[in-house]
A and B are shown apart, each in its own frame.
Chain A
Amino acid sequence: MISAADLARLSDALVTAALAAFGIALVAFAVSSALARHRPALKPTGAAAHPELPLTAQHSLGAPTGSPHAARVERTATVILAFATGVLVAAVVCRGFAAQRVPWGNMYEFGLTGSATVAVVLVSSLRRRAVMQVAAWVVALILILLGVSVTSLYTPVDELVPVLKSRWLVVHVAAAIVAGALFCVGAVTTVAQLVRDSNWRRRSAEVDASDAHAQDSLAEFASTVHLVAFPIWTFAVIAGAVWAENAWGRYWGWDPKETWAFITWVFYAAHLHALSTAKWRRRSGYLALAGFAAFLFNFFGVNMWIPGLHSYAGV
């Protein structure tokens, strides 16, 4: 029988291993992107031969363009990423068993479980070319989040303070983590899309079909991710309100944490509306990024700088 302390140590060791593995995955993806960038322009064979297929379908056919070299590196990177993700998920599970509760009771655990969730989202959507193109950036984000969690948020395994002992903790925080992971991937894709968009317009004369398609599939993937994330975030906010009612007697009190959850929600709602507004569609990404910034501020800024009822971050 392994003791709780052993499990906690095992979790910490796995986190270190995962950090290393994600680091290697980052390098591999960076190399693969670099190789892909030097590929010869995609011949119309790919793009025009199946014009009736929607763009995503073409880009998810999976055949990486360019040299077979690039393809090999890409596959290797994928395998390393999957491995790193597995290790990180194992670390989360160990942490949960060590604490004998869900592993999201303080900021460190939130960061840990959050980065594992981002990794899972990334791995499971890697079949899409659009995601493959931004994988390196998402991995970099995972590394940052995990690194910050380990270096400045780390707290030893511990029992929860009484106000957190609630099944609503499980539901509310889990939903927030999933939505947050999706927001994360959505934000990276959106940045990539916005950057490409401005490059693309600057040299629109020499645009080739593949770029246009890549562009569209980035935008499409980002909007799909946001469409999925938005209801989950809505649910997280509602579950939080139900919990607040159960713990403090009022379901909404404009506590800073609640306020920033609301701001996040409203920015993403504005983003969805802008997506449906023909003229603003291209720039709607900025609103999603504003939403993501509000989400990040809620996690880091509010927990650390603003006093409120939610001050149990454990840092």
Chain B
Amino acid sequence: MRTAVVLLILLALCAIPGSLLPQRGVASDPAAVPQYFRDHPDLAPWLDRLWLFEVYSAPWFAAIYVLLLVSMIGCVLPRCLELWHEYRAAPPAAPRRLSRETPYRTVQVADADLALNAASDALRARRFRVAAGDGEIRAEKGHIRELGNLGFHLSLLVLLVGVAGGRLFGYEGRVAVVEGATFTNVASSYDALTPAPWAAIADLEPLDFTLEKFDASFETAGPRFGEPRDFEASVAYRSARSGEGTFAIRPNQPLNVNGTKFFLTGHGYAPELTVRDGEGNVAMSGPTIFLPMDQNFTSDGVIKVPDARPESLALQGLFLPTAVRGAEGLDTSAYPNAVNPRVQLTAFTGDLGLDDGASQSVFSLDVDDLEKVRDSDGDVWRVSLAPGQTAELPHGLGSVTFEGLSRFANFQVARDPGKGVALVAAVLLLSGLTLSLGVARRRLWVRRIDAVTIEVAARSLARRPVPAEELDAIVAAATSSVIPATPSTKDPV
């Protein structure tokens, strides 16, 4: 037990740094760790060497809980055996001097043997296991407490199995889907996929779904103006194993297809732009995902048009769903829904570097090799478009049209095959704990002193003392069985 206390304290203390330092693969903000490295260039590598940016998968953290579980098994398994033996054996002999126990009574009765019988019946009626003989009754109750305690401790092992199941065979992924687009559940469709070592990424659940519509509503008045109120992604799915259907994915209401779940975790706008190049051909057309940067969905995005002629083009833009003129003449967004949508664009020409094979983010533009498009006065070319508007690029580079607006939804996709096991473990844990803390295991003895005197005592095998009422009830049963006699009490030694 002392080992358990020490290890539990260690476990608690060692969990703390993980909540104070940014963690890899844990925090909601994946940029937090690199940011910490930039802010603390001297300290961060040292912390990293101590696994302090991934505390919960650190070897020292694992060492503590493995030690804890090992010492727990070492403690609990022998107790299992002991419990089994105790359960099969009769209640053990009474201590020689019952008067040392609390609670304890001596009682005057009319006939000690009759009283003993009555007490024995009363104990049986209260579901004690009773053994009688030699003018003494031995009774015990509450083995289930130990069973609960064992169940509780062993459930921690089951929980570990469940957690390990997810860590070894599960996967998590993220994908953004624009209204009207179809997502097919293969690894290459994901924006990000983090599979566990043994996850079968080659054969994901065969399914696809189309995001038919995304609705968002926000508070329209009052102090919480602009706060989110409801989101709903209407999808039509087709699954090889579960057939077809439609479903509204909302917060707290994921789409579940045979254990692969799609959670709605975010949303944003995808302005539909058409880019015509200098030769009048459509070089790019369709919605482009702009990533939201603030509560009012000011979003930024990049449109790369490598096939434009005479020169490759790139557009960098801001999208404002409800553009208003802010301070210093800059437009900002005042509300998350699209009331007065605007796309503000600047343009670049040059080598987009898409051909050299290095992978690039579709959301950022490496402007090192690019040249800003300027108008004939030499000022940076900059436009702000409302839906339906077209702007000509200078120098015959082409034109851009803001055709309309779609939304996109972000889905978190998760499959965790250990989840069921973990849930079973949790239920086991809770019921074991309730039994173990709620039931008191106790022994109770009744012994004949002489023909008209008996003594009654009880001992708790749990932390809570045996309630005096229980003893009193047995005393009452023993005395009421025969001619009423006044119970008298005696000081314990």
Q: Which residues of A contact B (CB under 8 A)?
A: 48, 50-54, 57, 156, 158-159, 161-163, 165-166, 168, 220, 223-224, 227-228, 230-231, 234-235, 238, 241-243, 245-256, 259-260, 262-263, 266-267, 269-270, 273-277, 279-280, 287, 290, 294, 302, 306-309
Contacts and interface: CB of A to CB of B under 8 A. Distances in A.
The 5 closest A-B pairs by CB, nearest first: A249-B414, A270-B8, A266-B12, A259-B19, A162-B251
Given A156-B223, A166-B252, A230 B19 contact: no
B1 interface: yes
Given A263-B15, A266-B15, A241 B254 contact: no
B193 interface: no
Given A163-B251, A230-B437, A273 B28 contact: no
B327 to A, nearest CB: 26
A270 B19 contact: no
B416 interface: yes
B468 A57 contact: yes
Q: Which of A156, A166, A274, A287 has the most CB of B within 10 A?
A: A274
Interface of B: 1-2, 4-5, 8-9, 11-12, 15-16, 18-20, 23, 26-29, 55-56, 102-105, 163, 166, 172, 219, 223-224, 227-231, 250-252, 254, 261, 263, 265, 412-414, 416, 419, 422-423, 426, 429-430, 433-434, 437-438, 463-465, 467-468, 489, 491-492
12 contacts: A50-B489, A52-B492, A162-B251, A230-B437, A238-B430, A247-B251, A250-B416, A253-B26, A255-B26, A275-B463, A287-B5, A302-B19
Given A249-B413, A250-B172, A308-B27, 12 more contacts: A52-B492, A234-B430, A242-B423, A249-B263, A256-B19, A259-B16, A262-B15, A270-B4, A270-B9, A270-B12, A273-B8, A287-B9
A162 B414 contact: no
Given A166-B252, A250-B172, A276 B19 contact: no
Nearest to B471: A52
Nearest to A256: B19
A250 B414 contact: yes
Nearest to B253: A246
Contacts of A231: 430, 433-434, 437-438
Nearest to A287: B9
A275 B8 CA distance: 14
B491 to A, nearest CB: 6
Contacts of A309: 28
B172 A259 contact: no
A52 B102 contact: yes
A173 B172 CA distance: 27
B contact patch SS: mixed
Contacts of A246: 252, 254
A198 to B, nearest CB: 21
A306 B15 contact: no
A273 B426 CA distance: 20
A256 B15 CA distance: 10
Contacts, number: 151
Contacts of A57: 468
Contacts of B219: 159
A75 B4 CA distance: 44
B280 to A, nearest CB: 46
Nearest to A278: B1
B28 A307 contact: yes
Given A266-B12, A270-B5, A294-B12, A254 B56 contact: yes
A48 B265 CA distance: 66
A54 B468 contact: yes
A163 B23 contact: no
Contacts of A228: 437
B426 A276 contact: no
A54 B465 contact: yes
Contact of B467 (A54, A161, A168, A245): A54
B29 A307 contact: yes
A86 B262 CA distance: 45
